[in-house]
Structure 1
Amino acid sequence: MLTANRSDIGRVRHVNEDQSWVSQLNNGITIAIVADGMGGHQAGDVASQKAVDAFRSMLEQSAAKADLSLQEGKMLIRQAISQANEAVFEMASRNERYHNMGTTIVAALVKQDNAIIGHVGDSRAYKIKEGVITQITNDHTLVNELVKSGQLSAEEAAHHPRRNVLTRAVGTDSQVEIEVQSVEWSPEDVLLLCSDGLSNLVSEQQMLQTVTTEQLELEAKADHLIQLALHAGGDDNITVVLLQEAGSTNRGE
């Protein structure tokens, strides 16, 4: 598996509250996570780091078994995000400075012919396959709820002043509802995980063009996506993770 993991503070923020991590286990499974923290007084970066650490410590051990089934993979992603929720919530409960801090999470566990995606919040996963980009995750935001109920159009939602208001996040409550799904995965596919610092400023068409260009290696594609967000204003932290099988044809060699 080829992987690229890039993050930038952006042009406006003083702290990067995004955290990401990618690992390839000995059994051929690749795990990735992007977390976008929130909370005053730099609590956001504490929340996202705490969440990624908790997620990582559980999955590095438990996902390393030789014959991990699809159901086990889904259960592990759910448990790891739940563990991250407990870790952040407990820390916020103990320390007044971190009161109400939380984080989004989008995570992937990629094995052979399946990618298992778990998420809470509005950090996103996209799959690029045969020249088509598909958003896999469903934003847990107030505005998206209004779109789904027909009260807002997608165009209105994109520019709505409250589009960043989350309906759920990791660490703000003792329990959180976690969305877990699996998608088919083949060697030519590319998985893109990102914080909303990318998806709010870079269109799906721009993402698709960047990922499918044959002139760039995978890491350069991730760098280019960050640059597109910066050129578009860079008003938030920007994090991008790209995953692609090493044997793929459009690697740009």
Structure 2
Amino acid sequence: MKWQIATQTHRGNVRPGNEDALLVDKRFPLLLVADGMGGHEAGEVASRMLVDGLGALALPVAPGLAEARRALEDAIQRCHREVIDYAARHQAGRTVGSTVVTMLVVEAGAICVWAGDSRLYRVRHAQLRQLTEDHSRVAELVRVGALSSEEARQHPAANIITRAVGASPRLELAADEFDVCPGDTYLLCSDGLYNEVSAAELLQAMEAADLWLSSLQLLQLCLSRAARDNITFILARPLASARDGLDETLTFYPGE
């Protein structure tokens, strides 16, 4: 299956540095967005450990979804232990961590494994769907009906997450499996993106014919607003067949 993939990452308008990280591994493909926490350098190290660790992911020969899922979860758990060890040795044991959202494609199926509030969206037949559930304090309140989705966006505890790589001794990962169809569009992103744009704006960006141009426009839209957090996202679309002049996988890592 051929893929179009475009990526963007930016520190935003307020933060002095960028603690987000992303990975596009063309072998599968494997896509990852990580949002580091713990302050300058510490959060950046945690998110980079995830990129490095999953960039070395090894799968069994001709894996099914179950085998690929186990390999992906095991790799994230290894990163979790490495982040905890790093915090103990270099950060006096203070909390260092990172959210993570991944999408690993195996033939016509995919696995998503995540922890925290970085998200995976899909557009299929002009319908936008969030495929992940946030691991955050306000998301729990929304699920039990104590807050509306709009109230959650403005809530003072909106940035408190309940799961993250490295944040506690035990990491509970969430996972889901789903089919992948030509013409779908997938978006993996940190909260710095979806906190700045509406669902309608995400849908419009994901339906665009040119994902690279769409990614630039989506980033500029965020930067035209508050952009208080780092912004990182991956747009990915499986194609029915190769098109003239289109590489098998187009991946962009623009500089800031």
Same fold (TM over 0.5): yes
Q: Would the aligned equivalents of 1:125 and 1:191 in 2 still touch at CA under 8 Å?
A: yes
CA distance in 1, matches of 2:6, 2:92: 34
Structure-1 residue corresponding to 2:86: 91
Q: Which amino acid aligns with 1:211?
A: M
Q: For residues 208-223 of structure 1, what are the structure 2 equivalents within 5 Å?
A: 208-214=203-209, 217-223=210-216
Q: Which amino acid aligns with 1:53?
A: D
% of aligned pairs identical?
38
When residues 56 and 98 of structure 1 are mapped into structure 2, their CA distance, relative to the original with a 3 A threshold, is farther
Structure-1 residue corresponding to 2:249: none
Structure-1 residue corresponding to 2:227: 234
Structure-2 residue corresponding to 1:8: 10
Post-superposition CA distance 1:38-65 (Å, at most 9, x none): 11243111111122212222x1xx22x4
Q: Aligned to 2:103, which of 101, 108, 111?
A: 108
Q: Would the aligned equivalents of 1:43 and 1:98 in 2 still touch at CA under 8 Å?
A: no
Q: Which amino acid aligns with 2:45?
A: V
Q: For residues 131-210 of structure 1, what are the structure 2 equivalents within 5 Å?
A: 131-210=126-205
Q: Would the aligned equivalents of 1:43 and 1:97 in 2 still touch at CA under 8 Å?
A: no
Offset of 1:249 from its aligned partner? 10
Q: Which runs of 4+ in 1 moved over 4 A?
A: none
When the two structures are aligned, how many residues end up with a matched partner? 243
Post-superposition CA distance 1:167-191 (Å, at most 9, x none): 1110122320000111121011111
CA distance in 2, matches of 1:98, 1:174: 12
Offset of 1:97 from its aligned partner? 5.3
**TM score, norm. by length of structure 1:** 0.90
Offset of 1:98 from its aligned partner? 6.6
Offset of 1:96 from its aligned partner? 2.6
Q: Which amino acid aligns with 2:237?
A: Q
Offset of 1:244 from its aligned partner? 1.1
Q: Which amino acid aligns with 1:91?
A: Y
Alignment pair present for 1:49 and 2:42: no
Instruction: Report 1 or 2 for greater relative contact order, CA contacts < 8 Å, sequence distance ≥ 6.
Output: 2
Post-superposition CA distance 1:184-238 (Å, at most 9, x none): 2101111110000001111121011112123xx2222222221121122111110
Q: Secondary structure at the match of 1:82?
A: helix
Offset of 1:119 from its aligned partner? 0.4
**TM score, norm. by length of structure 2:** 0.89
Q: Secondary structure at the match of 2:160?
A: coil
Q: For residues 17-56 of structure 1, what are the structure 2 equivalents within 5 Å?
A: 17-25=19-27, 29-56=28-55
CA distance in 1, matches of 2:65, 2:105: 10
Q: Secondary structure at the match of 1:151?
A: coil
Q: Would the aligned equivalents of 1:37 and 1:102 in 2 still touch at CA under 8 Å?
A: yes
Offset of 1:99 from its aligned partner? 2.2
Alignment pair present for 1:225 and 2:230: no
Structure-2 residue corresponding to 1:247: 240
Post-superposition CA distance 1:126-181 (Å, at most 9, x none): 01111111000000000011111222122211111110100111012232000011
Q: Which amino acid aligns with 1:20?
A: L
Higher helix share: 1
Q: CA RMSD in A?
A: 1.9
Q: Would the aligned equivalents of 1:74 and 1:181 in 2 still touch at CA under 8 Å?
A: no
Offset of 1:248 from its aligned partner? 6.8
Structure-1 residue corresponding to 2:251: none
Q: Would the aligned equivalents of 1:113 and 1:185 in 2 still touch at CA under 8 Å?
A: yes
